Amino acid sequence: MCPINYRTTYQFLGTWAVAKDHGAGSEEMHVLYASPGTIEAYRKDGHFPDGAILVKEVYRAATGAMTTGTVSHVDSLRGWFIMVRDRNGHHPASDVWGDGWGWSWFDAANPSAASRNLPMKDGIVRPTFDYKENCKGCHAPAVATEWIYIEGYPPLKH
Ligand code: HEC
């Protein structure tokens, strides 16, 4: 199940803006939270601690003129990417656990169960039966930092 109350009980890590292919502003915005204690542990030894949970909110963005310029802000929520740290590989037979994490997508329309379908920005729906096919390739550039794109998360740095 998607963690509840994470917006008040989790630690804020950072945001991403995915630009529109055409026109000004963002297509999507991503907002990252980590379970309590993740930041402190990471600062200590540069590793995500066992059991840590990362919640990535995926929003459609809306863009308009504001007094600061052309500005995008979060609009409707599409769902959540969630990763759970499992440093010792407790679920070797599973198709959603591996490489030190559990990997899942929860659709906003059905937050109580991990989705088997992964709707992409391009509208194509890919089945998420295997994290190796549906997550791992896209996270390969971040393999040196435990598959996580830490450059977007200032709180992890001292
Ligand atoms: C199209 C490529 C792509 C796919 C597919 C993808 N990711 Fe990611 N993911 C990224 C990128 C790039 C980032 C950081 C920038 C962003 O959010 O746009 C990211 C960020 C994340 C984050 C925030 C922590 C981090 O690594 O920075 C989580 C959690 C996450 N992804 C989980 C998943 C899971 C689970 C799957 C599979 C169900 C998945 N992703 C599939 C490219 C992808």
Query: In which band, very low, low, confident or very high, does the pLDDT at 123 lie, cut at 50, 70 and 90?
Result: low
Overall average pLDDT of the 27-48 stretch = 98
Question: Residue 158: pLDDT above 80?
Answer: no
Q: How far apart (Å, rounded) are the C-alpha atoms in residues 17 and 158? A: 24
Q: Rounded CA gap, 155 and 146, in Å?
A: 17
- Closest atom of ligand 1 relative to the 28 alpha carbon: 18
Residue 35, number of CB atoms within 10 A of its CB: 19
Which residue puts its alpha carbon closest to atom 23 of ligand 1? Answer: 56
Which residue's C-alpha comes closest to atom 31 of ligand 1? 81
Lowest model confidence (mean pLDDT) among 6-20, 90-104, 124-138: 124-138
What integer pLDDT is reported at residue 118 of this predicted model?
66
Rounded to the nearest angstrom, the distance between the alpha carbon of 139 and the centre of ligand 1 is 6
Residues 59-97 have pLDDT tens digits of: 999 999 999 999 999 999 999 999 999 999 999 999 899
Cα distance between residue 118 and residue 61, in whole Å:
19
81 contacts 56 by C-beta, under 8 angstroms = yes
Nearest CA to ligand 1 atom 41: 135
